[in-house]
Structure 1
């Protein structure tokens, strides 16, 4: 016998609403449930979306259907806005989720899931209609199953192969009818936690490994939040972290990157966002370079062309490559 429908089960649809009202309701719900976001709908004349929300003990399962759009987390570093701080498990059923987070760009394909932190900047772009599950998990709860969840962020994982398959099967079963589940919902949440540990291939890291990973993520978060400061340097961040510059560089090298590489990538990503933003049309290319942390517009232009294959002016003119 299934558990009775919870009072926390809610749903919404844009059907019957004028587009501006529907978009405002969509954004307001997302800001209070997921994170503060900006939504850019690619077809301005046709916004249609719906969601269903289910309580699972301490977790919340969101089932989303939405049109082609870009969703950008707009909260300040370390802020989830009105939403509770959570780690999100985002599982794609239909449509590719092109994602940018923590200096990484990656695609979440149908049948894959990824862990995101709703207190950090991220952006998802969907070029077609899409359907996904967004599981909001308090970090304290998740750490019972994954003692270092941050180490697994921004890594797409298959929910159809190997140890991901049992987790994918449970997610699909819940979407098809959590009301008919034979166990109380908090127990289903515990099963999710255990299967997530299997699917991610989690193993208990040593204290040294865990500390190194935490330091590396602290450095990357500092870059993400302070990229516009032209004085941001590895020496400054190393001093704030209480480590040497050499140790900082070794930490990032262990992740296949460097301080300068991550800083320039973050600055160029922000610059490309501003160049494509109609609200920044009055800013000169030099102003955008400066606001992104570059003191030398010529150096900025050279890096931009090397990264994107075109000049900042061409990007602003609408010639950005379509990925």
Structure 2
């Protein structure tokens, strides 16, 4: 039991982790759970049942093959029905939307630097949680652009000539995010009017826009532990969309609207997971600091694995908490 206690002390297993519905194995990520179920070396008993009753997108297990077919029809998204913004220098703004969550994506062009390493934001798109466009604009670059990366971006000089100045874009995005609340007053995603920001690799994107936003208001699909690789590196948005939503993106010219919709769908899928409610669900909460204290070693060794799991807390913020 001593080894189990040490493992629980450092692993931060919790009720929020991806868990095998067949054997209750806790995994750090959905990729790890996928390997457990259908990977190169799966657990054979789980693999056998999962092939019959398991959804390959959300990795849930249904009660019958018929229920599985009905579930997968709803679980798999289609990328072909999205209404994309017109490919012209225009602004689409809806100031009356009520969504508490927005997704942001940008299209970059080459701003120079060593071997074209400096990215400059040339196109911005924001959508609400219902996939409605709330902001779409081409951005007038503050510096000359030596390479528009047209093959991937679909952007040329004619798109940016009448683009919105970067400072004005910054101000508009801040208005959408803060929603009338002063930046310094933002304290929690559940209190106040400020909106949760969803995206993929958001920090470089925000840096290119010269924007700052509180980290506790950001939901980044590239940095969310359940969506990361088993080696704790980020998955690409293309992989996440194909694997967990069931359709392809970024084929040819990349579309920031398409990226916005994909990240929003991933966020909502994670947020809508049903987990048992806990008091003080994060390990960083001071009220959980003594759960596995060395002074409790003897007491912990007498506990069952289930009892230890009940007091163990996650070392990351589970997005399901946004819906509580």
Tell me the TM-score range normalised by the shorter chain: under 0.3
Structure with larger Rg: 2
Q: So what's the TM-score if we normalise by structure 2?
A: 0.25
More contact order relative to length (CA 8 Å, sep ≥ 6): 2
Q: Which has the higher strand share?
A: 1
